[in-house]
Structure 1
Amino acid sequence: MPLSQRGGPSMAGETHVLVVDDDAGVRQMIVDYLGDNDIRATALPDGREVDRVMADELIDLLILDLKLPGEDGMHIARRLRDHSNLPIIMLTGRRDEADRVMGLELGADDYLTKPFSPRELLARIRALLRRARAQQSVADGLARLRAYRFAGWVLNVRLRRLTSPAGAEVALTNNEFNLLAAFLAAPQRVLSREQLLDMSRLHNDEVYDRAIDVQVGRLRKKLEPDGDAFILTERGAGYRFTAEVETVR
């Protein structure tokens, strides 16, 4: 049976976390600690009930053990990622970097190695939920418009297509599109690396600790072949998109 913190239905605005781990002690520790910090938690010993719980409940975040009896955590993460952007924190008892990287590549948003501090887990949960809200805000904004225009460039949001002033289509990776859309949604504003990570859904972890800088560099090469400086570095603060931006609805 699922172990649910304080039982009962989730109240409006209440954060609900699903914990899947075959270690009863770990499950109880997480449920108790999150409950003490006003987060409802439902815990399962394996993946057999995950689909049912997610169909019956509003789940805001999944904490998923890598090694589970039956369907393992990586398979569950891959399957969920096919149809959901639910934030996922992967847990493992192994310190093998290959497992960590594989978990992230299969769709996990963060990774913790056992034993871990419940305080650190709570901090990571809150950070991922903030990021999810920021991403949803950008997604809601994109859903209400057709395109952005700036300095002769056009970013067609619905087709995810960037066209240069000369009319040439410029190929963008998914990360580059998300990053450019984040800049165009907030022109002339200084955006920190953390804000850009939140808005563009790039992994913020030790493996990719310079993810924003790398993506900004790649985006600059595509936008600024003639020396135009659209993305300025604000030392110690982040980046600012300098062009005037027009939205097409």
Structure 2
Amino acid sequence: MSACHHLLLAGADPTACQSLAVTLRARGHRVEWLDDVQRLLRADWPDPPDLLLLNLSIPLRPEHLGPAHGLDALALLRALRLHSALPVIVLTDVDDAADRVLALHSGADDCLSQPVVVGELLARIAAVLRRWRGHERRAPATVASLPLSAGAWRLCPLSRTLRRMNGPVVPLTPAEFRLMRAFFERPRHVLERSDLLALATEDEVAVDAAEASAGSRGVDLLVSRLRGKLGDDARAPRWIRTVRGRGYRFDVPEA
């Protein structure tokens, strides 16, 4: 008998979703119909799912993603990929190669047209999860990959994201992440501009032109961007404070 997996099902048609959920449950899987797509972007699952079945016809409202992302299921998938490697199989109502290619480029692990053949869907779920489990075995967690916490903030090295308690997940560039990690490792300590500059330009391959600019101006630009992502007011910063003539300090309450 195949292994039992926790599957999320995101689709627009309740009848079709219910029918597919019943079929998958009969094969031993736990299936949850997702009616709040924002949960995907918050990544706050008490019981993390193993795989998402995403129907391209799922309706989205502007508040789900914001105007910058558009309003389709592939935009949701691209937003999800900013902070999560959750395996995703896209279900499309049209058997069109262009749709499948677009889904794969947007971050899908596989794509299948509907109506699905149950045996094929089960085989594809098993194949995607086999590849995912193999990747996990090849890249075991290390101390350096564990999330860091500072006050109400949480920094995740694996997804290179920042999050405040119950807030949205914020993606960081490589240089932003290195600076944020330094702040997390030494909260309430002044970090010199020269040290922050060395961190920002540590890996020139991964740093964009603005981040690699010489001198403290590059650090100031990075800090300004971090403040924006933290929702910090540069005129009266609450989290990242400027220490004149020296550098910056990340202020969080004592544990």
- When normalised by structure 2's length, the TM-score is 0.47
Larger radius of gyration: 2
- When normalised by structure 1's length, the TM-score is 0.48
